């Protein structure tokens, strides 16, 4: 290997090193950006989970305040029937996050027997009860006063708590006395509910009820005016179900802490040695903290994104190919220079020969044959020089073409990496989960749910097939060889509507100003067909009306397709044109979210623009611009 081949090799090595180093640097920056975006997204989701949890607490407090006001206004004169009627109005059974609501009157020792007899008229087995040292329910001991559960809703689930004296338990009694003395709602520490058959802890929110016509300005006045308590009963596992369901979807872990110095501690879950988001939960008279952390798999995906591996791999491949192309180009240039030097040497030799001819005419005559041979060799070398120059030009053009191909391949790779790491994985994860359920059902002998799981699995497979077909259509867009033809846009749109519209229920109005012009027919029809199909498919009624019009500028026709459907919120006017974006959950829509992205790709390929104008609930109008003429020139300028 001589010095002329070493220099291009060294240059190629340096360029490949720079490319690989740049790729690594970019991958680090992209990793940090992706991590920042992922953590920001998780934080927003955590805030939503915390907000929903706080809403459940607030709604329960509102219901309890209503029951408190109900008893305060009516001075405790309520029967079981009236209590049940009021509970039917609240309909707490549909809330899902509150275990029970109950009325707990204050019963003095002297009134105990009369009170029990009054309740037994409605509940024959009623007694004021308490737990003994072994945890069994027994009749309450003699006390100055009692606070038994008189009425409870939902009765069937919570009837075991009926008659239980809250005053017999230290934690409950402390909260009762604090609520009575302060006049505020209070929350107990973590307790074991009377009606609890499992291992879940619970708590009570207690609202004092006073006799309305007595003053309650001081502690002594409130003690005198107290007639009972409205209580909300909560099972912590049930209260956390909605938040946990959302957290499980997002691969998050939850824990709930009571951080009060007295009777505090863990209420739900446990998060150790992990970073987490903390949110203060407002609950009467206590301080709770909801902690939300990432599980190990989600943390691993955020810290080491799969797309970075593709970026590194693609960058290294491109760097090596670029280095090889530059090496080949440099070798060709060096060879061209060598040929040039050889030509100069031949010219010098020719001059020397001419001088010798002048000086030695007689000698050259004897060597005429040899001179002819030299001339033939010179001609051959010049032909070789011309051939090498052509090879150098061809190598340069080939290097430029490879550079363009590499850039396009890199873009396609980025798009595929995006799809592979997001939308293609979602159906596969769903299929994997359903398959796991089917295996578990087979192992347990539970065959009832297997058909439903298999049906859901088929639906996800069909959704994945639709996703792949739409991705293929998207990748092939604008690659077909189309021919220009004269079209009447009004006739074309009428024909397309008859193809995509149902037999009845939808009508079409076309304004008279639609043009006739020369264009590529196939892509134009695909844009209009997708927009018509989109207007019909996403309509919220069985009947609808679509109106199509057209205006024009110096270079474009601007078509408008207006429907009277549900409309689109301005917050989503940009997102709907992105790949695989839908405004409804994937299980509620047939589409893959590629329709509008495909439209945008086709229109922009022909130098046009597509936009949407809509207000939620008032329909929407899509506008797209299409070149009037000289479409080939327009596309070439764009390229």
Q: Are residues 139 and 68 in the same domain?
A: yes
Per the structure, how many domains does the chain have?
4
Beta-carbon neighbour count of residue 18 at 10 Å? 13
Q: Are 468 and 483 contained in the same domain?
A: no
Please tell me the predicted confidence (pLDDT) of residue 522.
85
Half-sphere exposure of 591 (CA within 13 A, CB side): 20
- Note the pLDDT tens digit of each residue in 329-345: 878 888 888 888 888 88
Q: Quick one: tokens of 486?
A: 């004269």
Given a contact cutoff of 8 angstroms between Cβ atoms, the answer to whether 291 and 243 are in contact is no
pLDDT at 174: 92
State if pTM tops 0.75: no
Per-residue model confidence (pLDDT) at position 466: 58
Instruction: Clarify whether residues 417 and 564 are in a common domain.
Output: no
Mean pLDDT of 339-353: 83
CA diameter of the chain: 158
Residues 561 and 588 in one domain: yes
DSSP secondary structure code for residue 164 in this structure: B
Res. 44: pLDDT tops 50: yes
Residue 305 domain-assigned (yes or no): no
Report helix, strand or coil for 261: coil
The answer to which of 117-131, 238-252, 422-436 has the lowest mean pLDDT is 422-436
- Whether residue 205 lies inside any domain: the answer is yes
Q: Are residues 183 and 240 in the same domain?
A: yes
153 located within any domain? yes
Give pLDDT, residue 367: 78
Mean pLDDT of 579-584: 63
Of 293, 328, 347, the position where a domain reaches its end is 293
Give domain status of residue 184, yes or no: yes
- Report the pLDDT value the prediction gives residue 551, as an integer from 0 to 100: 94
- In angstroms, the CA 562 to CA 579 distance is 23
Q: What is the pLDDT of residues 402-442, one digit of tens each?
A: 775 566 456 655 655 565 555 566 567 667 777 888 788 78
For the CA atoms of 377, 378, 379, 384, the dihedral, rounded to the nearest 10 degrees, stands at: 90
Does residue 199 sit in the same domain as residue 66?
A: yes
Contact predicate 180/187, CB 8 Å: no
Using alpha carbons, list the distances in angstroms from residue 213 to 72, 221, 316.
10, 12, 84
Share above pLDDT 70 across residues of the chain, in percent, rounded to a whole number: 82
Question: Is the model more confident about 448 or about 229?
Answer: 229
| H or E segment and range at residue 293 | strand 286-294
Domain-ending residue, one of 404, 421, 438: 421
Query: Are residue 357 and residue 382 in the same domain, yes or no?
Result: yes
Contact 586, 426 (CB under 8 A): yes
Tokens 């204050």 correspond to 106
Cis peptide before 154 (omega within 30 of 0): yes
Phi, psi of 95 (to 5 degrees): -75, -40
Q: Among the three residues 293, 328, 353, which one is the final residue of a domain in this structure?
A: 293
Clarify whether residues 268 and 325 are in a common domain.
no
d(CA 510, CA 591): 27
Give the torsion through C-alpha atoms of 551, 554, 556, 558, to 10 deg.
-20
Query: What domain range includes position 140?
Result: 51-293
For helices 306-359 and 3-74, give the axis angle rounded to 10 degrees: 160
Give yes or no for a contact between 154 and 125, defined as CB atoms under 8 angstroms apart.
no
Is the model's pLDDT at 176 over the cut of 90?
A: yes
Residue 179 has pLDDT above 80, yes or no: yes
Q: Is residue 545 part of a domain?
A: yes
d(CA 557, CA 626): 5
pLDDT of residue 185: 93
Any residues with CB less than 8 A from the CB of 497 and at least 6 apart, and which? 508, 532, 546
- Tell which wins on pLDDT, 581 or 561: 561
**431 and 416, same domain (yes or no):** no
Q: How confident is the model at residue 635 (pLDDT cuts 50, 70, 90)?
A: very low
Report how far residue 412's alpha carbon sits from residue 475's, in angstroms, rounded to the nearest whole number: 9
Start-to-end CA distance of the chain, whole Å, equals 43
On whether both 214 and 256 belong to a single domain, the answer is yes
State the average pLDDT over residues 151-179. 89
**Highest mean pLDDT (candidates 32-41, 195-204, 246-255, 265-274):** 195-204
Domain assignment present for 26: no
Does residue 298 sit within a domain? no
Task: Give the Cβ contact number of residue 620 at 10 Å.
Answer: 22
CATH, residue 607: 3.30.565.10
Tell whether 33 is covered by a domain. Answer: no
| Cβ–Cβ < 8 Å for 203, 189 | yes
The 8-class DSSP code of residue 339 comes to H
Residue 258 phi, psi (nearest 5) = -100, 110
Looking at the fold, whether 360 and 370 belong to one and the same domain comes out as yes
Q: pLDDT tens for residues 181-201?
A: 999 999 998 888 887 777 778
Residue 4 or residue 254, greater confidence: 254
Which has the higher per-residue pLDDT, 416 or 37? 37
Mean pLDDT of the chain: 80
CATH code (residue 190): 3.30.450.350
Question: Token digits for 145?
Answer: 């006063």
Q: How far is residue 3's CA from residue 146's CA, in Å, rounded to a whole number?
A: 105
**Same structural domain for residues 63 and 204?**
yes
């Amino acid at each position: 290997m001589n010095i002329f081949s070493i220099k291009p090799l060294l240059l190629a090595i340096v360029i490949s090193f720079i490319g690989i180093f740049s790729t690594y640097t970019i991958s680090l920056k992209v990793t940090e950006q992706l991590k920042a975006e992922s953590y920001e997204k998780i934080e927003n989701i955590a805030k939503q989970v915390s907000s929903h949890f706080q809403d459940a607490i607030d709604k329960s407090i509102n219901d309890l305040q209503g029951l408190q006001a109900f008893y305060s206004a009516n001075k405790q004169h309520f029967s079981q029937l009236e209590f049940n009627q009021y509970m039917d109005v609240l309909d707490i059974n549909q809330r899902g996050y509150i275990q029970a609501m109950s009325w707990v009157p204050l019963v003095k020792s002297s009134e105990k027997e009369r009170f029990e007899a009054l309740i037994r008229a409605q509940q024959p087995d009623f007694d004021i009860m308490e737990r003994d040292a072994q945890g069994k329910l027994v009749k309450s001991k003699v006390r100055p006063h009692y606070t038994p559960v008189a009425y409870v809703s939902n009765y069937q689930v919570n009837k075991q708590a009926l008659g239980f004296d809250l005053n017999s338990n230290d934690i409950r009694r402390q909260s009762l006395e604090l609520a009575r003395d302060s006049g505020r709602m209070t929350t107990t520490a973590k307790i074991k509910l009377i009606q609890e058959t499992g291992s879940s802890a619970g708590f009570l929110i207690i609202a004092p009820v006073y006799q309305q016509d007595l003053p309650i300005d001081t502690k002594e006045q409130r003690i005198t005016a107290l007639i009972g308590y409205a209580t909300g009963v909560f099972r912590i596992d049930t209260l956390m179900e909605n938040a946990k369901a959302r957290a499980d979807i997002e691969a998050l872990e939850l824990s709930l802490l009571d951080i009060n110095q007295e009777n505090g501690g863990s209420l739900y879950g446990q998060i150790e040695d992990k970073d987490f988001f903390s949110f203060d939960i407002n609950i009467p008279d206590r301080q709770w903290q909801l902690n939300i952390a990432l599980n190990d798999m989600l943390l691993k995906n955020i810290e080491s994104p799969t797309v970075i591996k593709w970026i590194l791999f693609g960058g290294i491949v491109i760097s090596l190919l670029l280095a090889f192309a530059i090496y080949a180009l440099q070798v060709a240039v060096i060879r061209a220079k060598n040929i040039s030097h050889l030509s100069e040497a031949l010219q010098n030799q020719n001059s020397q020969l001419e001088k010798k001819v002048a000086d030695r005419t007689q000698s050259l005559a004897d060597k005429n044959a040899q001179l002819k041979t030299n001339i033939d060799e010179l001609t051959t070398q010049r032909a070789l020089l011309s051939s090498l120059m052509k090879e150098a030009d061809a190598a340069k053009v080939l290097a430029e073409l490879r550079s363009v191909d590499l850039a396009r391949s890199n873009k396609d790779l980025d798009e595929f990496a995006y799809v592979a790491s997001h939308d293609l994985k979602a159906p596969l994860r769903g299929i994997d989960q359903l398959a796991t359920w089917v295996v578990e059902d087979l192992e347990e002998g539970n065959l009832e749910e297997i058909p439903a799981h298999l049906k859901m699995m088929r639906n996800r497979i069909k959704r994945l097939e639709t996703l792949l077909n739409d991705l293929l259509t998207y990748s092939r867009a604008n690659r077909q060889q189309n021919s220009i033809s004269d079209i009447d846009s009004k006739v074309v749109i009428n024909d397309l509507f008859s193809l995509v519209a149902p037999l009845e229920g939808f009508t079409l109005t076309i304004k008279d100003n639609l043009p006739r012009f020369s264009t590529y027919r196939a892509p134009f029809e695909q844009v209009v067909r997708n927009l018509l199909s989109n207007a019909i498919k996403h309509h919220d009624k069985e009947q609808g009306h679509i109106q199509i019009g057209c205006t024009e500028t110096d270079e474009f026709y601007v078509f408008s397709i207006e429907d009277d459907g549900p409309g689109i919120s301005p917050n989503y006017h940009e997102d709907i044109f992105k790949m695989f974006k839908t405004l409804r959950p994937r299980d509620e829509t047939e589409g893959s979210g590629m329709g509008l992205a495909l439209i945008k790709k086709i229109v922009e390929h022909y130098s046009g623009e597509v936009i949407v104008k809509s207000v939620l609930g008032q329909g929407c109008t899509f506008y797209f611009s299409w070149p009037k003429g000289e479409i080939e020139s327009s596309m070439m300028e764009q390229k």
